[in-house]
Amino acid sequence: MRRMLIAALIAALALVAAACAEDEPDEAAVDEPDADAVDEPDADEDEADDADEDEAAEAVEPGDDWPDPLRLTLTPSAEAGELIDDAQPLAEMLEERLGVEVEPSVPTDYAGVIVALGSGEADVSGGLGPVQMTQAVDDAGGELLLQSERFGEFVYVSQWFTNDPDAFCADEPVEETYEEDGEEYTMRFCNGVDEAEDSSDGPIGEDRLAEVDGRAVSYVEEGSTAGFLYPALQLLDADIDPIDDVEEIFAGGHDNSVISVYQGDADVGVSFNDAREDVVEQFDDVGEELVVFAWSDPIPNDGFAVAPGLPDDFKEAVSEALRDIADTEEGAEVLNDLYNIDGLVEADPEDFEVIREARDELDDLIEE
């Protein structure tokens, strides 16, 4: 009964493990920043000019063993073309701070990001979902660098949403107002999701997942934590096979999963919370048409990782550069456009043990 699910998971993991190889370049120290690299502001500049000064970056002297160009791969959690457009400003900011050319790219799937990281085709990977953060270490031999912060949190949830609230809501949906670029949009929730104070309040509404049996479900991708792993565990706990007992769709992105349900290709869908906000400019009534009816357990936020064998001073410089970018107004806007990132902190590998446990749990449930 579960052969299709096993095949999907094995295929995704096999792609990750393939072609992962290590390079071991010699280490070199970072030279002191060049004081001439930053223009001194005039004494009479106003606060706006002071803000511009804050945006300026001191470029380090790159080591002889640093990758040049630096190949930056990004997870295709949204449309690849849009991500590339958003990534170009980030690449330019990194170039200013690191003194090397930066080439951004977006592989076709989640597995391709990890393959690139482990095979020497990528030096730094960003937007890595929690499963990818574990794969970056376990399969690619890389090292975790930074973790994303959103809304003051370092965890998030998988959300379940539907275009058929009568079937999945035990109460009347509640409307809340969301503002984007000066425009107000309506978002609807039910089963108490609207009462949640933060992601730590998950799970919510799991008793309604029994209604998913036999329905068309829009997932994101097999390698997505919020878009497949956690929802699959929730369905298995409800004695529903996430592949064989539903009509599955893998939309290829969180925004696409929302759109699939909005356009009626699926009855319910999953994504990170609240991915509806990413498509309101395209479909301004998406928050009214799709009702969020359930949440998963909290999930550690995504982040950045580096390939194996890179010198320590390079890793430190990349980490400092990305955090510096996040601390500037322009950089914060770029990171928000890319992955809704509000800030970056040093990643703690222990925070992702819960993901390894979830993967093991899914394997055990499949084998039963």
Per-residue pLDDT tens digits for 4-40:
443 444 344 444 444 443 443 333 333 333 434 334 4
**pLDDT at res. 108:** 86
Tell me the per-residue pLDDT of 295-332, one tens digit each, with 9 for 90 and over.
999 999 999 999 999 999 999 999 999 999 999 999 99
Mean of the pLDDT values across residues 248-254?
Answer: 95
Residues of the chain with CATH 3.40.190.10: 3-39+49-152+301-367, 156-299
Mean pLDDT across the chain: 85
Enter the pTM of the model: 0.79
| Fold (topology level) of 3-39+49-152+301-367 | D-Maltodextrin-Binding Protein; domain 2 (3.40.190)
**pLDDT at res. 81:** 65
Confidence of residue 366 (pLDDT cuts 50, 70, 90): low
**pLDDT at res. 84:** 80
Q: How many CB atoms lie within 10 A of CB 259?
A: 23
Strands 102-105 and 70-74: parallel
| Fold (topology level) of 156-299 | D-Maltodextrin-Binding Protein; domain 2 (3.40.190)
Tell me the per-residue pLDDT of 71-129, one tens digit each, with 9 for 90 and over.
999 998 766 567 788 889 999 999 999 999 999 999 988 889 999 999 999 999 999 99
**pLDDT at res. 43:** 45
Mean of the pLDDT values across residues 29-52?
Answer: 42
**pLDDT at res. 289:** 98
